Every structure is written in structure tokens, then in C-alpha cells.
A and B are shown apart, each in its own frame.
Chain A
Amino acid sequence: MNSFPWLTVLVVLPIFAGSLIFVFPHRGNKVIRWYTILICVLELLLMTYAFSYYFQLDDPLIQLTESYQWINFFDFYWRLGIDGLSIGPILLTGFITTLATLAARPITRDSRLFHFLMLAMYSGQIGLFSSQNLLLFFIMWELELIPVYLLLAMWGGKQRLYSATKFILYTAGSSVFLLMGALGIAFYASNEPTFNFETSANQSYPVTLEILFYIGFLIAFAVKSPIIPLHTWLPDTHGEAHYSTCMLLAGILLKMGAYGLVRINMELLSHAHSIFSSWLIIVGAIQIIYAASTSSGQKNLKKRIAYSSVSHMGFTIIGICSISDMGLNGAILQIISHGFIGAGLFFLSGTSYDRIRLVYLDEMGGMATLMPKIFMMFSILSLASLALPGMSGFFAELVVFFGIITAKKYFLMPKILITFGAAVGTILTPIYLLSMLRQMFYGYKLLNATNSYFFDSGPRELFVSIAILLPVISIGIYPDFVFSLSVDKVEAILSNFFYS
């Protein structure tokens, strides 16, 4: 194996390079923007290079591991490594963050700080997905919050302070449980704390203790994921944030919760997971229907899309809780797929907001003739989001469905009910997404034509939306792009769950 610390470089590079922004001479925003995009692209290239040369797909173990003693006092290691589970989200992070910085080009206010925060977030996300140490995981989890809070509170919409406060209270409050769980696992059964994932994975706990840990982690991840009823921060946050921030929120931040569920709740606490999964799967099915029907009641465009994200994350929860090979694969595919689609939808809604300056759907109308390209991309991504075959969303949902069907854990009736519930979601999804399209683009209502000026997508926006669309379609046509990453790891995880 190589000895070059690829992952450390990947984690440290963005935040380090980002902090250099502050020492730049005042040459205007342009330099900063180009610099940030350059860093993002460089990071993405490094990432793909490292993974394509040093990552074996057929190996379910953790690879590219690095371990440095950080704090001697209590055996705390800077321990990084990736496996089939985390490589997908990391690549997604690289991709979406690069596009988000590209999308954020219109921002001129405090652009130094803004771009630094974007890069800091980049580091935090990659650090989270690649950390192999529970405490490091927690630190990265917290590191993530500060940039999001600032991005939200400084560059958001009218109610940004309310949303930002809500966000920070929800997530910070939930990370208390994360910390408690992490410390609990670390201090259990040994005198000196062990935060290492691999050692904790082989540990077994008394049932009550394991359930307590499970609940703690679950609350933390349920806020982030989100799982109802802890989701209400999300529509507010997404409704107020700038759309580049929204892309990061919808594309990556939500996936941290689902990732954590698999990484910690499933891998470390497998007994408790098999106890809880039958309840969580019901919650997942309810969430799909509940969020979908709430979404159709929303008049705010961004909130509608935000609720659609909540609804789609329900499929991830069902997949994770089905405890079957296909279900988990489907959940991972849904994580990736919704990362692209959600980010794309928020990007497009943001760009169209830039043009028409209207938030509420019933005020809009007749935009199709004015902005045909945005209309086209918006239609395609909405269709992708409602799981049209040939796009990634369809495949993810289909595999999740098969996951429920083939799950060995459940009996026939619960299976039928859960499948039915999730399938009702597939009827509700087109209702709210297509009526959103109808209200925005169809019809002939002329928007107050005097002071509104419409440009169709410029090359930059077109590039961003096509770049999001390409992986969506290619995964939809050939889902093995994602499956090949995760199949072996999923099998390894599921080998813990044997039922008599």
C-alpha cells in the first residue's frame, strides 16, 4: 500500500486553503471566486485520483487507513479510512460542493468569509465521512454546524435569524446525545476509552445499555436525516438559505444522518437495530406519506422541495431498516441519488427565484415561454425526483421496495402494509411535484412585466444543472456505478444480522 496520507490531505486541504483567503490582497471578488473553485476542483481531482488508484472495490475492509496519535492523554487517534459505505458520500460531497461554489458566484457580500465557510464545510463533510474514530466523528459533526449556521444567518432570506437559530438549536441539541452515546461506547467495559470503530464493532453490550446508546444516536441522526417528528428545522432552513447553501444542505448534510445511522446504529449496535428497525420502518413509511402530503400543502416553493426531501429520505430509512441486502443497497443508492436530485432542484429553484423574485407558488405562472431552458431542466429533475425510470431515483426506490419484499425479518402482512404505504408515496409525489411545475411554468400569466427582466439560463447555470443531471441519468441507466462501490461492504454489515 501507499504511505502517502491521502485522506488527511483531502480533509485538511480545503480548510487550509480556505484560511489563506483571508491573507489575500484586496483584488475584488473575482480572484476569491476563482481561487475557491480551483481548490474545489483540485480536491475533487485528487479524490478521484486517490480512489481510483488506491481503492479496491472488492474489499469490504477499511482502506487507505491512517492513524496518528493525537492526544496521548486519553488515547485519541486521528484515524481516517474509507470503505464501500463512505466512498459514495465522499465523492458526492466533492461533486456537489464544487457545483455549489460554482452556483454561489452571484454572491458578492462578504465573499471572503462566504467562500472560506464553503471550504470549511467541505473539510468537515469529508472528515465526517472518512473518520474511523467515534470522537473524531463527533468533532467533524460539530465542525459542520458552525459554517452552516453562519451561512444561514448571514446570507439567508428575510427570516434567516429565526431559521438559523432553529437549526443550531436542533442540531446542537441533538449532538449532545451523540456525544453521550460516543462517550458511553468509549468508556464501556474498559478502563481506557476506545473510540475506534473497528474495536467497538466487535463489542457486545447488555441489551438495555445497547438500547440506550441506540436511542441516543438515533436522536442525533434523526434530527439530521431527518426523521419525523424532528424534521421541522429543515423546511425553515431550506426556505431561507441561499441556494448554494441549500445544495449543500440537501445534497450532503441530510445524508450525514443516514450515513450515521448505517455506520453507527447498524454496524456498532446491531442487536438494538434489529429490535428498533421494525418500529423505525413504520416511521419511515409514515414519513413518506406524511411529508408528501404536507408538501402538497406548501405554498412556498423551496419549502415544497424541502418537504419532498423529507419524503424521499423516508425511503432511505425503510431501506436501512429492512435489514436486507437489497434494502441497504437501495438506501445507499437513494442517499447518492437524492443528493444529486435534491441539490439540483434547489439550485434550479434558486436560480428561478433570482429572476422572478417570487416565493409563493400561487403568484408565479407562465414562466415556460420566458425561460425555456430552466423549464426543461426543472421538468427533467422533477421527473427524476418522482422516480421516473431511467433516472437514479427510480432505481433507488425500486431496490428499496425489493429490499422490503425480500427482507427475512418481517412477516407477509407487515411487508404488504409497508410496501403499500411506501407505494402510496409514489402517487403523492407526482401530485405535488407536477402541480409545482404547473403553477410555476404553465399558463400564460404575465408577471409584472415592467420591472422584471428575464434571462434564460446562462452557460454557468446550464453547466451546473447538466453536471447534476448527467450522473442522475447515468446511475439510472446503469446503477452498478453505485452498487459496485457498496455491494461488498453491505454484505459485510449484514453478516452481523443473522436470525435464527
Chain B
Amino acid sequence: MEHTYQYLWILSFVTLPVPMLIGIGLLLFPVSTKKLHRIWAFPSVLLLSIVMVFSTDLFIQQINSSSIYQYVWSWTINNDFSLEFGYLIDPLTSILLILITTVGILVLVYSDSYMSHDQGYLRFFVYMSFFNTSMLGLVTSSNLIQIYIFWELVGMCSYLLIGFWFTRPSVSNACQKAFVTNRVGDFGLLLGILGLYWLTGSFEFQDLFEIFNNLISNNDNEVHFLFVTLCAFLLFSGAIAKSAQFPLHVWLPDAMEGPTPISALIHAATMVAAGIFLVARLLPLFVVIPYIMKLIALIGIITVLLGATLAFAQKDIKRGLAYSTMSQLGYMMLALGMGSYRAALFHLITHAYSKALLFLGSGSIIHSMEGIVGYSPDKSQNMVLMGGLTKHVPITKIAFLLGTLSLCGIPPLACFWSKDEILNDSLSYSPIFAIIAFSTAGLTAFYMFRVYLLTFEGHLNIYFQNYNGKKNSAFYSISLWGKQRSKMLKRKMRLLPLLTINNNERASFFCFFWKKIYQTGGTVRRMTCPFITINHFGTKRIFSYPQESDNTILFPMLVLVLFTLFIGAIGIPFNQFNQEEMNLDILSKLLIPTLSLLHQNQNESVDWYEFVTNSTFSVSIAYLGIFIASSLYKPIYSSLQNLKFLNLVAKKGPKRILWDKIINVIYDWSYNRGYIDVFYAISLTEGIRRLAELTSFFDRRVIDGITNGVGFTSFFAGEGIKYVGGGRISFYLLLYLFYVLIFLLISSSIFSSFSFL
């Protein structure tokens, strides 16, 4: 088996020929390259499949004999600075290889259909294949420099892919934002690498960990320790940006401007997991500094909560999913910070498949909506205009529902196992973290079901505007915060005047509806439901309805459904009761060497009783979230229980106002993305703009001003001298006399002073 390992460096470069060939073709022979069009998709899928076969082989070998292989070549010949290029195959790498290739293939197949009518079909495949290459390179890297190189390259691919539809102004802003935010993280990463190099003199992971451990254990110099902590923090900041953790998360929701397959592959499954990968890779280094571990956990928990709350009020289906991704990545970061390496990786895997499924599902929805509402993402991705898609896209609905359930943590599905593990670990780590983590599990269920219900339940909202007769204002304005929201707005209880535009437009269908209900009382309610339905049937023939996407789009989703159903199995200890020794699941078995490197005592015996009680708790929280979501967002005309629940709330007079206020605040917070983007825009962007204006002003007026001033002075001096030397005898005589006079005066004064002496 040595031979396979020896030639594995090819692995990351197998997919490179496709982007190179298409790129050169597009540049030199655009017409003939474009004629081939969809044929190009075939080699990219094929090459990636080859990589997948090899990485599966690797994976199996790693399970059988978990060992680390590393091959290194020298890259530069500089005397005292030897850069090396190599690859490192260990369990972490092999897991990620499988993940990247499987999701990558499915997304490539998917996007063949999704992008087939796009002008930039080939460009898209160039970027995608190049992304796959760099991502494979990233996970097989054997040293930090290599990681940095591929880290930047995947960032570039992300930039190019977000900016894929470059004619939209919002896209151009989003891609620049993504790149610059990531550059801030890379800045930290670079400085961290440099600092570590200064400390240890090495980039290789193994050497690095050893030297670092020695350094920490031997040297208890205060300054030294500070510097070490600083370096570790800087390294971690790279991961913060890439994995969209708290202070640098702002780019991820905007990144949803890119095509949907990209959101599935890059911004849900693979690239954003690179930050988690980096922290996991460097965990032996972080573990020795407890402050950093605490910081990682803290950042993780903040992101978990923030992402979940920001996902509440998003109208755009993809943005909602993006915030959910951010929150889930926070879970992984939290797990890493708590030191539970296995749980983090487990969640990384399960979340990648579930979220890829959700994104592909949303892509399918968008694809079918586009035909009706137009190609603007404000419309086709707007959940306000969706609803009732169950009838029209049944297969997508099933897939999306399964993905949603998985993400909510409902038992047989993948994310349940991993999330439960993280939640359990958080219990033993810190009670506050545990409370936040558990409650966020409920929030996750809430916002995911909000998305699901708004999208698939009820009737297609886009045609509702015809009923209230206010075509202009109703388009974007149906309240998403359940029905209470619209009620609240009628009372004009605006606490925060930041988004008044939005509220003014909110003369919605639901407003109308609620007015009716409150005016006429309980019995009318039941009458309104058929009223709506009848009207709906009456006008049905005029409208076209969304179509289910074609098979090329559905097939990857179904495969991902399978993954979502069964990938949890790699982390479940099946033969728990059979044999005492064989109680390790696949994942634990795979990770033995890494865990032993971390000096972790893995809890060998999972207590089933404890497991069941804990999971019952977390699952019941998730169900609570689902219940609240369905009571708030379930379409009115089909659920009576829902209205009773609302009446219950409505009856409490003064308390209700408070309740409204609270919801109002939460809604505003969530809708405005926690005001973080606004804050950044005001403080950082404006700050840099001011700085730029200031320096260019300084440059033009002061530095250049001095030069020009010297120029002008000499010019005027020259002019003056020219005037003086004008060639007029009388002027010369005047000057002559003048100077003689001065001379006489001076000499006489000097002489007189001498005579006084």
C-alpha cells in the first residue's frame, strides 16, 4: 500500500486540468470552447470521481490502520530558508477528502442543470473545479505555508464565485466584502504563522507541536507566554474569518448572492469548514494554552446564539440558511474549544451533508420560482412570495423536510447524533454554555421550521396580492414575524426607527386579514378561510405554478438525502452490548491517533441511560421549537389550534404590549442583522474612506503642495528677476545709486561706531 501513498500528491492536482483547459480555451478560442458547452461538465465530474475513489480507498485504509503519512519535497533552494511542499494523510484529512469529493461531485452534477442556461456556464465550471483543486490541496497540506497558500486560493475562488453574476451591484459589493473580510482573517493567520516560525523555526505540523510543547513546558517566561498566546490567537483569527465566526461573520450572508450550488458547496459544506479544519489541525497547539481554548469556546457560543437569532427574520431563504450555517459552525467551534475533537468533526460531517441538501433544495425551489416571479433574487429567493410549494414540488419538499429535521436534531437523522454529542459535552464543560447551547437547539428548530413552513405550507403567496387590492405596496411586505407582527404594526409601535421604510410598506395581506378578524370576532374567522380558498380556486387557471425541477437537479438531492439519513451511523457505537472491546464506532476508531496526541481520555463506555435522558431533553427542546414555529407560521386557514393559541396571547391586555415590545426588539435586531453590519459600515468602512480621503488630500496639498510651491516661487522669482533685468538704463542707474547709498550708509555707520570706540 506504500505505493498508493507515494503518488498521492497527484490527488489534489487531478482536477486541475479542467479549469486550465477551459480557461485557456475561453481566452484563446472562445467560440469553439463555448460550442462544446455541457460536454465540459463531464471531465470535471469524472476527474473528481477518480479523486473520490482514491480517497475512499484511503479512508478504508485509515480505518484499518490509523497512521499518518507524510511526504515532503523541497520547494526552494535558498540556503537557510527551505520551503517544503508535501502532503499529509491522516484521519482528519481522509475524512475531509471524502466530504469534499462527495459533495463536490453532487454539486457539479446539480449545477450542470442549474446553470445550463447561464451565459457563464463554462466560467462557472472553471471556478468550481479550481475551487475543488484548492480545497483538496488545503486539506492535504503538510505545513502552514501550504495551508496559507491554499487558504487564500479558496478565498479567491469564493470571491470569484460570489461575484459570478457581476452585473448586479449588490453582488459586486458582496464579493468585495467577502474577500476583504477574509483578508482580515488571513492577515492574522499570516502574522500567526510568522510568529510561530520565529518561535519554533518550523512550519511542519509535527515539529511545530513538539517544539511548541517543549517551549510551553520548559519556559515560564511571562513575555514569552504572552507572545505565544498572541500567536495562537492570530492563527485562530484566520479560522474566525473563514468559518464566519462572530466578529467577522458579516461576509457569509452576503455571500449568498452567488449561485446556489456555490452556496451549497463553498458556503455551507467545504470552505467554511476550512476554519474548523484549521483549528482541528492545530488543536494540539491550542490545547496547551487554556486561554485560547476558552476563547475558542466563547467565540463558538457567541456565534451559535448570534447566528440563530439573526436567522429569525430573514426574508431571503438563502440568507436564513446562511445564518443557520454560521450558527452550526459555532457549534463546531464550541466543541473544539471544549476539547471534544471527535464531536466537532462528527458535526462537521453531518452538518455538511444536511446543509448541502438544504441549499440544493432551496436552489431547486428558487429554480422553480424563477419562472414565475422573475430572475431577481429579491423575488425568487424571497420567502414572502413562496408558500404552498408542497403541491408543486413534492420531491424537493421531502428532501428539504428531511434536511430541516436533520438540522433540528430529530433522532434518526444525521445531525441529531453529532449535535447531541456536543450538547452533552457542553453540560460537563460549563452550565452557562450548556444553557445557551441547549436553548439554541430549540431556536434552530424554530427558525428552520419557520423557513420550511413559509416555503412549503399554505398557498403560493405571490398571488395573494390580488385579494387585498393593493398591488403596489403588498409585494414585499407580508410580515414574516407571524401574524402578530402585522397587528403590532397597525398600532404603530415603533421602538427603533431604523427601518421605517420597511414598515411603511407593510400594508399587507395579513393586516387586512387581521383587521377583519378583530372587527368581526370569532365566528367570522372560520368563514374567512373558505372565502380565501374559494377565491384561490377561482383564479387558479390564470396563474402558472412552479414546476418540479428536472432529474439532474433532483438526483444529487436524493443522494444527499441518503447521506443525511445514514451518515450518522459512522458515529454511533453499534456493537455496544455485544463485546466489551469492540465498542468503538468508525469515527472514534479513525481518530484514535489524533485523540491520543491530544492526551484525551475518551469516555470509553457511553452510558446508554444517560444518553437517552440527555437526548430526550434536547429532542424535546427541538420539538418545542418546531411547535412554536408551526403555531406562528402555520397558515391561518388550515389550523384552528393556532388561532386559539394566539387568542390566548391576545387576551392579556397590558402584558401583551410588553410582549409585542419584546418581539419588536427581537425582530428589529434580527432583521437588521444585529446592527453589526451597520456598525461596521459606519465605523470601519467610513473610517477607511475618511483615511483615504485624508491621506490623498495630504498627499496632494501638502507633499505635492510643497513641490508646486517651490516651483511657483522659483517661477515668480524668475519673473521678478526678469523684470529687474529688463534692459532699461534708467532702472540700472536707479539700482546703482540705491546700492551706493546703502553702502555709504552702512560704511558710515561702521566708521562712526569705530570712532566712538
Using a CB–CB distance below 8 Å, which chain A residues touch chain B?
A: 166, 169-170, 228-229, 231-233, 290, 293-298, 325-326, 329, 366, 368-369, 372-373, 376, 379, 383, 388-390, 394, 398-399, 401-402, 405-406, 412, 415, 419-420, 423-424, 426-428, 430-432, 434-435, 438, 441-444, 462, 466, 478-480, 483-484, 487, 491
Contacts and interface: CB of A to CB of B under 8 A. Distances in A.
Contacts of A290: 695
Contacts of A434: 159, 175-176, 179-180
Interface string B63-106: 00000000000011111110000000000000000000000000
A325 B81 contact: yes
Nearest to A232: B704
B172 interface: yes
Contacts of B692: 293-297, 432
Given A405-B198, A442-B169, A487 B691 contact: no
A482 to B, nearest CB: 10
Contacts of B191: 419-420, 423
B703 A430 contact: no
B27 interface: yes
Interface in B140-159: 145, 148-150, 152-153, 156, 159
Given A399-B81, A406-B81, A487-B79, 20 more contacts: A294-B699, A295-B692, A297-B695, A325-B80, A326-B80, A368-B167, A379-B160, A383-B156, A389-B149, A389-B152, A390-B153, A427-B187, A438-B176, A443-B166, A443-B169, A444-B168, A462-B28, A478-B75, A480-B76, A491-B79
A240 B487 CA distance: 63
Nearest to B184: A427
A430 B180 contact: yes
Interface residues of B, number: 56
A401 B153 contact: no
B118 interface: no
A388 B198 CA distance: 23
Most chain B beta-carbon neighbours within 10 Å: one of A389, A415, A480: A389
18 contacts: A233-B707, A293-B688, A297-B694, A297-B696, A329-B78, A388-B153, A398-B145, A401-B194, A405-B197, A427-B187, A430-B179, A430-B180, A431-B180, A431-B688, A441-B166, A443-B168, A444-B169, A466-B27
A298 B696 contact: yes
Given A435-B176, A483-B78, A484-B77, A430 B187 contact: no
A468 B416 CA distance: 53
B33 interface: no
Question: Lowest 5 A-B CB distances belong to which pairs?
Answer: A297-B696, A442-B172, A297-B692, A389-B149, A296-B692
Interface of B is mostly: helix
Given A402-B197, A483-B76, A487-B77, A232 B695 contact: no
Contact of A438 (B76, B80, B173, B688): B173
B171 interface: yes
B626 interface: no
A448 B677 CA distance: 35
Contacts of A483: 76-78
B711 A169 contact: yes
A487 B78 contact: yes
B594 to A, nearest CB: 27
A478 B699 CA distance: 38
Contact of A326 (B81, B150, B180, B694): B81
A55 B697 CA distance: 49
B180 A405 contact: no
Interface in B240-299: none
Contacts of A398: 145
B624 to A, nearest CB: 44
A329 B80 CA distance: 12
Nearest to A303: B696
Nearest to B707: A232
A412 B81 CA distance: 20
Contacts of A379: 160
Nearest to B693: A297
Nearest to B697: A297
Nearest to B704: A232
A363 B204 CA distance: 49
A427 B176 CA distance: 12
Contacts of A479: 76
A211 to B, nearest CB: 25
B300 interface: no
Interface string B186-202: 11001100100110000
Contacts of B75: 478
Nearest to B700: A232
A407 to B, nearest CB: 11
Interface of A is mostly: helix
A294 B183 contact: no
A405 B26 CA distance: 42
Contacts of A426: 183, 186-187, 190
B77 A462 contact: no
A456 to B, nearest CB: 9
A136 to B, nearest CB: 30
B163 interface: yes
Interface string B19-40: 0000000111010000000000
A369 B167 contact: yes
Contacts of B152: 388-389, 394
Interface in B676-698: 688-689, 691-697
A426 B167 CA distance: 27
Contacts of A326: 78, 80-81
Nearest to B182: A430
B188 to A, nearest CB: 9
Given A294-B692, A390-B153, A402-B197, A427 B166 contact: no
A471 B431 CA distance: 58
Contact of A401 (B77, B78, B159, B190): B190
Given A373-B27, A430-B179, A444-B167, A402 B81 contact: yes
B79 A442 contact: no
A376 B699 CA distance: 32
A137 B149 CA distance: 40
Most chain B beta-carbon neighbours within 10 Å: one of A166, A326, A431, A478: A431
Interface string B300-341: 000000000000000000000000000000000000000000
A430 B181 CA distance: 10
A445 to B, nearest CB: 9
B181 to A, nearest CB: 10
B484 to A, nearest CB: 40
Interface string B706-717: 010001000000
Contacts of A427: 180, 183-184, 187
Given A232-B703, A423-B191, A479-B76, A368 B166 contact: yes
A424 B80 contact: no
Contacts of A372: 30
B696 A294 contact: yes
A442 B166 contact: yes
A426 B179 CA distance: 12
Given A426-B190, A462-B27, A442 B167 contact: yes
Contacts of B704: 232
A176 B76 CA distance: 41
Most chain A beta-carbon neighbours within 10 Å: one of B80, B194, B688, B694: B194
Most chain A beta-carbon neighbours within 10 Å: one of B145, B184, B691: B691
Contact of B167 (A298, A366, A388, A390): A366
A435 B173 CA distance: 9
A357 B239 CA distance: 43
Contacts of B197: 402, 405
A352 to B, nearest CB: 16
Contacts of B198: 405-406, 415
Most chain B beta-carbon neighbours within 10 Å: one of A228, A294, A487: A294
A379 to B, nearest CB: 8
A152 B696 CA distance: 24
A413 B699 CA distance: 29
Contacts of B156: 383, 388
